Amino acid sequence: MEVALSPLDVITLSLYLLGMVALGFYFARRNNSTEEYFVGNRSFKGWVIGLSMLSTSISSITFLAFPAAAFTLDWRQFISNLMLPLAAVLAILFFIPFFRRGQLTSAFEYLGERFGSVARLYGTLSFLILQILRIGQILFLVAIPVNLFTGIPIITVISFLGLFISFYTVIGGIEAVIWTDVVQAIVLWLGGILCLVLMVNQLPDGLSQVFSVAEEYQKFSVGSTDWNLNERTFWTVALLGIFHFLAMYSSDQNIIQRYVAARSTREAKKATIIYSVIALPTWALFFFIGTTLFVFYTVFPNITITRLEADQVFPYFILTNLPAGVAGLILAAVLAAGMSTLDSSINAIATVTVVDILKPYWMKNQSDRRYLLAARLIAIGVSILMIGGAVFFSTIEKESINDLSWIVASVFGGCLVGLFLLGFFTTRVGYRAASVALIISVIVNGYLGLSLVGWLPEKWTMSVQSYWVGVLVNLLFMVLAYLLSFIFTNRKSLTGLTVWTQKSNTTETYDH
């Protein structure tokens, strides 16, 4: 794409980046303890946490991928997002009260209390490996549009963005992360709405033309309603959406860290409601942008579009059809979507490493000052790994990235949802049954992952649709653990650790 940012676009983008740095400096002076650095002294209001949850869950992949999905196909991928409210109800009724008990900081502290050190370490290592891989990928993908728009070598872009994000995250802690998330959510909305309005205004018949042309080409279709779990039908996408959001609300440290950072259980529940209410319209906005983009280039054919990948069409429109200054704001929104995910993950990785590895195993009984220093050093180390990972991804074929992602996600992320659900909703399953089932399930998980990417001889390969691997492994784990509980009887007190025993431990010690 032979397009470039105008000087006004560069100024707009620079002002946004300087604002993020200023927030990092502002909150840096307040981080004098790990309690402040990890959870902001548990003092945030619900609306702040809700906006932060929105920003954290929307990466630049989503910002570009949703319009691309609607542009090339239809709205069938949106169906999974409609399952969010169902998981939110469970989070409000069950998950949040569990994580708000006492002074929990990490999701995996609960696993340790419920199932012992094996489950806690599995959950911790799964999260760390998956997040480190994920942030390398996201940083690489964030750098692509900047590289296309500016002509700066992609490795230079990766290094600059990585250092920039890590700077305000390392010095500012969770407060900088959450408040920059709030700003980034607003920038995201402004950019998306402004882009949509300007696009619609350029159409001869305005908004009505979007609907008429989109209907003609069936761009609002939500896919087949046949019951076929091997295809991405309406029901398949819906079921996968339920599993995805259940996993997010029950076992994602990025979300759970925000539960415990709220000033009270009521505010944590309010945050979840706010997030659930605003997330669906936000995702719908970007799907509608993709539909409108299709209509725009149907009305105004452009041969360049045929040479672009789907994810490049929206950036191309931004830089060739929007006024100077507006393109800079839209690009800032693209960066905002990615930065909010990356800064949250860096802080969450530092939190989990200190709380679940250093404190209980490697650096016992140290001063809080040492743990705070360790957290900052870990955040710096993670930032270096993120930049290195993004550079690595920029040098290999895209297919290799997908293969590697599936293997790691399959081997290290398979049983987390099952662990938390068994912990919450059963009293039979104890640490021995869970540990044995976990070992077996991880082996099966690895086998399915290797089968998935074709790294096993054909006669040893089991054909499984990629999007069902996580669901199958979690179901296997839960069934095995429950059956093994009849052999390995649970002898541990579960007071306050399950739905059935929660009433005996309902006092929250840190509501303000």
Residues 475, 96: Cα–Cα separation, whole Å: 23
- Of 152-161, 386-395, 432-441, 496-505, least confident by mean pLDDT is 496-505
Report d(CA 239, CA 262) in Å as an integer.
Answer: 30
pLDDT (0 to 100) of residue 356:
93
Sequence spans of domains, the chain: 7-395, 402-505
Partner residues linked to 365 by β-bridges:
none
Q: What is the pLDDT of residues 304-345, one digit of tens each?
A: 888 877 777 887 888 788 777 777 777 777 777 777 788 888
Q: Which of 91-100, 116-125, 134-143 has the lowest mean pLDDT?
A: 134-143
Reported confidence tier of residue 36, pLDDT bands at 50, 70, 90: confident
Helix/strand/coil (H/E/C) assignment for every residue in 189-222: HHHHHHHHHHHHHHCCCHHHHHHHHHHHCCCCCC
Closest CA to 327 of 179, 199, 201, 182: 199
pLDDT score for 485: 94
Amino acid at 147: N
Helices assigned H by DSSP within 94-153: 96-99, 107-115, 117-150
pLDDT one-digit tens code per residue, 379-389: 999 999 999 99
Looking at every residue in the chain, the average pLDDT score rounds to: 84
Average of pLDDT values for 436-463?
A: 83
- Between residues 39 and 505, which one has the greater pLDDT? 39
CA distances from 367 to 29, 49, 171, 360, 364 (A): 19, 29, 19, 13, 9
Does 351 or 149 have the greater pLDDT score? 351
Query: How confident is residue 168, by pLDDT bands cut at 50, 70 and 90?
Result: confident
Share of the chain above pLDDT 70, in %: 91
* Beta-ladder partners of 262: 44
Of the candidates 151, 62, 143, 160, the residue with the CA atom closest to the CA atom of residue 395: 143
Least confident of 335-344, 400-409, 490-499: 400-409
pLDDT at 269: 95
Give CA angle at 171 (167, 177), nearest 5°. Answer: 80
The pLDDT, as a whole number, for residue 371 is 92
Highest-pLDDT range among 178-192, 304-318, 355-369: 355-369
Q: Which CATH number fits domain 7-395: 1.20.1730.10, 3.40.50.620, 1.10.443.10, 3.40.720.10?
A: 1.20.1730.10
Higher per-residue pLDDT: 2 or 229 = 229
What is the per-residue pLDDT for 397? 64
Q: What are phi and psi of 193, to 5 degrees?
A: -65, -45
Cα(27)–Cα(37) distance, integer angstroms: 10
Measured distance CA(455)–CA(444) in Å, rounded: 15
The predicted structure's pLDDT at residue 404 = 55
Quote the distance between the C-alpha of residue 235 and its chain's center: 23
Q: What is the pLDDT of residues 50-63, one digit of tens each?
A: 998 888 777 656 67
316 to each of 66, 151, 198, 339, 489, how far by Cα in Å? 15, 14, 14, 21, 61
Count of Cβ atoms closer than 10 Å to residue 489 Cβ: 10
pLDDT in the model for residue 413: 66
> Over 90: is that where the pLDDT of 461 sits?
no
Indicate the pTM of the whole model: 0.84
More confident residue, 407 or 445: 445
Residue 140 has pLDDT above 60, yes or no: yes
